[in-house]
Structure 1
Amino acid sequence: MKKRFYNPAQLFVLSFFLLIVTGTLLLKLPFAINQPLSWIDSLFTSTSAVCVTGLVVVDTATHFTIWGQLIIMLLIQAGGIGILSFAGLFAYFLKGGSSYENQLTIGGFSNTERMSEVFDLLKNTIVITFGIELVGALAIYSSISNDIPASLSSKVFFSLFHSVSAFCNAGFAILPDGLMNTSVVYNYNFQLIIAFIYIFGGLGFPIVLNVLTYIKHLCSLMIGKWAYKKAMYKPWVLNINSKINLITTAVISSLATVILFVNEYDHVFSEHGFIGKIVIAFATATTPRTAGFNSIDFGDLQFSSVMFIIFLMWIGASPNSTGGGIKTSTFSIALLNVLSLARGKDRTEIFGREISKTSIQRAFATMFLSLMTIGLGVFSISFFEPKRPLLEIAFECFSAYSTVGLSLGVTHEFVYGSKVVLILLMFIGRVTMLSILIAFIKKTKYTYYRYAQEELTVY
């Protein structure tokens, strides 16, 4: 590795590939499984765990032993935070510091511009991750302590597994039928706790840190006004990136909850009471944002609801988070750009700031590459299984690429070739096609000249 310089994108892709291979080998060990597991199913499970997707071809609760489930949980944790985060921190602690080259690598991975912030961000990421997962595990344990007949150690592992799986937006559950299991499906406290954990995980570490800084600033203002009758004003504590993603997340989640509540009130949600319908509608509306937990049978949803959930899966979570999809910021930038064009403006502006052209270009490139990759996945599976309904194929492909893990209950029925396609979609969706292109396409040298511009007909 020292003989050749690897750019951050190459290291990012390579680290996930090696982690998937390691997980595949570990899940084949005799002590990890209760029943025989084929190599393709082991590879599929490892990829789904590392890419925090949640699609399964075997039942996690019965097919794997406690050691196999522990391996899956560790793969989820490593894939959720990012193996490079761990590698950077290990280098920092073992060597008592880090080289400038390592900081550049981790900085490129975490989108941090100032080198002084690189390892501070990574350390805060680890602290926040483990902190929220611990609090989440305690909350889960308190909510299920009387519902699941098991030993203390089993309940502790159950709580920790689901907290890690939720925060990393993995969607793995060690209950038969997932969160549809009769022991928890009517436990609305448990359902809400899981939902809030994966919502935090889907916000993104920089946004969570920025929100915590903003809360600290508000507390300082309140204390300052009370103690000194005046407070120091500090502009832009909550940056524009956090504002856009938080507003987009709130609007999409609220709108989706209302739509699904109305659409499925007398259908899939009919077995729940009014409060239960609200809770399950909220869980169903937020889980497509790459969480992948199923409180209902998605195969029983109405066609309009399934199409709407495909759209939610495509958008996904916020950037620099454990979630996938094109990201809420990408969707917001594209929408703002369209509105600017409709108003005849040549700039995209919001909150007194202009969005850079680079951000707009990346947003539309991300959207184009995602649809192209998913389209190729749909075509490939249709080739392997020509008799399978298109809706089932499209749903599984969007779920795999966006690392959601929701299914219409047909993943285990796919043939060998279709499973390979889903594995590739999960991997590409986790590392992103743009990262793969950046990793393996040679960059052009900067030129100090520009060609004359030409207008092309586009509509």
Structure 2
Amino acid sequence: MYALIRRRFYNPAQLFISSFMGLIIAGTLLLKLPIALHQPLSWTDALFTATSAVCVTGLVVVDTATHFTLIGQLFIMLLIQAGGIGILSFAGLFTYFLKGGSSYENQLAIRDFSNADRLGEVFTLLKRTILITFSIELMGALCIYMTLGGESSTQSVGERVFFSLFHAVSSFCNAGFSILPRGLMDDMVILNYSFQFVVAVIYIFGGLGFPIVINVIKYVKHLFNRLLKKWTSRENFYRPWVMTINSKINLITTAVISIVATFVIYINEFNNVLSVHDGVGKWIIAFATATTPRTAGFNSVDFAALHFSSILFVMLLMWIGASPNSTGGGIKTSTFAVAVLNMLSLAKGKERTEIFRREIATISIQRAFATMFLSLMVIGLAVFCISFFEPSRPLLEIAFECFSAYSTVGLSLNITGDLAQGSKIVVVLLMFIGRVTMLSVLIAFVKKVRYVHYKYAPEELTIN
């Protein structure tokens, strides 16, 4: 039996997908326990909530603050944590620590999702991932706790600690869950700009991606050593390419999108949803509103009240999403950047896509466009299905919900709880596919062809 399972799940994509499915099933059962609930919860809503937590989406059909007990909220936080880091990472680390190592086969499977350059780096990267996650979450929880002022005076110290830890985990994992009745729009925190800014910083870190954060830390260490050598021995301690091309592209894309989006939201919503804020507070809420669609899902404003143009812009931000190998979703910033660079190369008449004196590999360009096409195909099919179940619902609301679910964002135009049973199932499937990616689903179930040593003659097609 064991040998059969090993043969069946040798494909790392199959292992990845089945791990998430198992975690969702376990979460559904936990959330149905009487100790987790203040009020009865249907199996569909339990499945929806568990999927939203594991897939770090944040869409909710019931109020997390009032429907679940402290134990239920703890279950949700643990599901978010496991889903954010990736159950495959946990499985690999448990194997490593409990058995004193891991098989070559398991390391190959984990390497496919960690993007380590060498096989020996696989578990080093996974251990660093866990260390970075817990370190940032603990620092984030401490910062959140320090921002809580008189508005939380009715809470005990224990309640403040849990509140801080829950929101730190939810922020870093880009889950968007909150134990406040109205999320970040709640009267307790809506004008607490320090809290709003800290939460935004935490989910931006979570959306960068573990390899990028590790690479940035390595680059900062290099700069420090270089300055130290220069001051002490007057030597030029320089190492080229400490910052990888992958990190540069994703960091620049993230920065540009965040800055542009903040200005767009600030200008477009100045006299609308931002009118209740003044001065620096208006900029902070604009910044939070511009960055949360990149799969964080916290609602500092009522997104249903945004101008139509802002809603369309938010849908674009949700589709792009966060960086690869992060807790966020979407097509990823690197995919968007590669598509733009390839478009510019075609416009210039260049045969290769180049950046920073390096050529982007053909396989990366193929993956980028496959990811974009598959995402739009899946989202379009979901829009069709929900429109079939609820023909009277406005198309904009359905499209926004589908983009949010596929990109694991968690934002909504306030329709999630009112969806029909069939629509909820569609959204559950959409959240799951968005988290594991449609490309992984295809890799898991489409049989790979054998490598061949011949090559057909190329032929150009009429495209434009």
Q: Which band: TM-score by shorter chain?
A: over 0.9
Structure 1 residue aligned with 2:359, among 339, 347, 354?
Answer: 354
Correspondences of 1:50-449 after superposition (within 5 Å): 50-148=54-152, 149-449=154-454
Post-superposition Cα deviations, 1:63-99, rounded to whole Å, max 9, x if no partner, equal: 0000000000000000000001011001111111111
Size of the aligned set, in residue pairs, is: 459
Letter in 1 for 2:313: F
- Which amino acid in 2 is paired with 1:390? L
- In 2, are the aligned partners of 1:145 and 1:155 still within 8 Å (CA)? no
The more displaced of 268-277 and 60-69 is 268-277
Structure 2 residue identity aligned to 1:201: G
TM-score norm. by structure 2 comes to 0.98
The one-letter code of the counterpart of 1:290 is T
Letter in 1 for 2:186: N
> 1:255 & 1:431 partners in 2: Cα distance?
29
2:48 to 23, 44, 47: 44
Deviation for aligned residue 1:163: 0.2
SS in 2 for 1:317: coil
By how many angstroms is 1:455 displaced? 1.0
* Structure 1, unpaired ranges of 5+: none
Contact 1:264 1:302 in 2 (8 A): yes
Corresponding letter in the other structure for 1:334: A
- Deviation (angstroms), 1:145: 4.3
Alignment partners' CA distance in 1, 2:390 and 2:406 = 19
Alpha-carbon distance in structure 2 between the residues aligned to 1:104 and 1:2 = 18
Match of 1:454? 459
For 1:181 and 1:446, the matched residues in 2 are separated by: 57
Percent of aligned pairs with the same residue? 70
Task: Encode CA deviations 1:177-232: one digit per residue, 9 max, x unaligned.
Answer: 10000110100000000000000000000000000000000000111111001122
CA contact (8 A) 2:324 2:332 kept: yes
For 1:174 and 1:186, the matched residues in 2 are separated by 17
TM-score of the two chains, using structure 1 as the length reference: 0.99
The CA distance in 2 between the partners of 1:60 and 1:16, in whole Å, is 22
C-alpha distance in 1 between matches for 2:65 and 2:447: 45
Q: Could you tell me how far apart the structure 2 residues matched to 1:155 and 1:231 are?
A: 49
Cα distance in 1, alignment partners of residues 112 and 227 from structure 2: 37
- 8 Å Cα contact 1:178-1:294 kept in structure 2: yes
Aligned counterparts of 2:101 and 2:448: Cα–Cα separation in 1: 30
1:27-65: CA deviations, max 9, x gaps?
Answer: 000000000000000000000000000000000000000
SS at match of 1:271: coil
SS across alignment from 1:268: coil
Paired with 2:300 and 2:149, the residues of 1 have a C-alpha distance of 19
The residue identity in structure 1 corresponding to 2:243 is: L
SS in 2 for 1:269: coil
The residue type equivalent to 1:350 in the other structure is I
CA shift digits 1:374-403 (9 cap, x unpaired) = 000000000000000000000000000000
Check conservation: 1:202, 1:318, Cα contact below 8 A. yes
